[in-house]
Structure 1
């Protein structure tokens, strides 16, 4: 099974369970680290999570919770009982919400289960500084906003953040090596960037110090997903 220390996480950006399982058959019984997002989870729900766990996959359940602390706390209790390996919230929900999320995970996990890694989304990799300034009315630089959200995440007791790989060196310099940085927006040189703005290659993410990378369409939409996965993995782990 892939190590949890520096995983390459495949984003299962599919609409149905059937599409998802058909995709996974191409990986020759490999145990993978996969990300299940809102589209897939809202359609297929807990049975899909259970099936993926039974097949030996690690799961990042990417629901980006953002609500009042009590609601997030109760939701995390439910998610902890599923045995997933990583979950997340929006750091913009504030420290009280993030603390409540962590408490919910601690309360909801069965005694035989490990507590899921809990990370916070800082600024989405689809967000540009101009859009953040004008649409969100946040007047700072993008990096300053990310660092501010990282401070709150750390103080709330969460394990790390979702961020751009471009921001990792600054985050590392302040929060050290143990602060987990999950970086989407990863594309090999020949892949398109689609709706991502802060994009880097797998080898660049490694050089910048990312703890984990998330790859979606570069693998899931490839003509040969296994071949593409192995290319990403090689660049990430060399």
Structure 2
């Protein structure tokens, strides 16, 4: 029987804060959280320096840029990301097959040039902030789960390493695609926590039982009165699930 993945390796801190605050917070919760998610706000303000700052603290960096452009542009950006030594990189599945293939190609080549392990390229299916009404308004037919499954199949067939999806879609994607794709679920909210702008949020235990490999937590930790206790409680819930 294989050993279960430690809870710490299944948690990412969404560092959507000013850089100094994000670094301070990560250093406090690092015992419970292995990944630091560098998103658009940090990367637009600080660029690669934001990545290296978290790496110096020992974090595995999840570079959440959600690339979505013509294939050549995405390939160039993914190559630059791969060269930074990030562990995870996101792109939008809706960019299509050629763009997804270009992202994978670029990320691997960029990592190779600097001697890094290639990042996992994760395709974002349907943003967790979108409700069923929002999904219909942007032109997807059917339910959010149906749209996520169609985009997931497209992305996996194009060669990406994994997917970003709502916890509510994870179980269906596992049934559809099996155990091999790496599933990352944002929109994690402990029981009783404010959902904020997350329309399809679920608890850590729900996400793990649905088949998620990595859970992204942000406001439930950095808005907590005691962030370390909050991170510990989430890690314990992941372990027990």
TM-score (norm 2): 0.92
Count of residue pairs the alignment pairs up: 235
Q: Secondary structure at the match of 2:21?
A: helix
Ranges in structure 2 where 5+ consecutive residues have no aligned partner: none
Q: 1:31·1:56 contact (CA, 8 Å) conserved in 2?
A: no
| Cα displacement (A) at 1:66 | 0.2
State the distance in 2 between where 1:169 and 1:230 align.
25
| Cα displacement (A) at 1:168 | 1.2
2:14 corresponding residue in structure 1: 11
For residue 130 of structure 2, the aligned residue among 103, 127, 130 is 127
1:144 corresponding residue in structure 2: 146
CA offset digits 1:67-95 (Å, max 9, x no partner) = 00000000111000000000010001101
Change (3 A) 1:73 1:234: same
Note the aligned Cα RMSD (angstroms). 1.8
2:169 corresponding residue in structure 1: 167
State the distance in 2 between where 1:51 and 1:110 align.
21
Change (3 A) 1:145 1:190: same
| Cα displacement (A) at 1:6 | 5.1
For residue 178 of structure 2, the aligned residue among 176, 179, 182 is 176
1:84 corresponding residue in structure 2: 86
Change (3 A) 1:217 1:31: closer
Ranges in structure 1 where 5+ consecutive residues have no aligned partner: none
| Cα displacement (A) at 1:27 | 3.4
Q: 1:183·1:210 contact (CA, 8 Å) conserved in 2?
A: yes
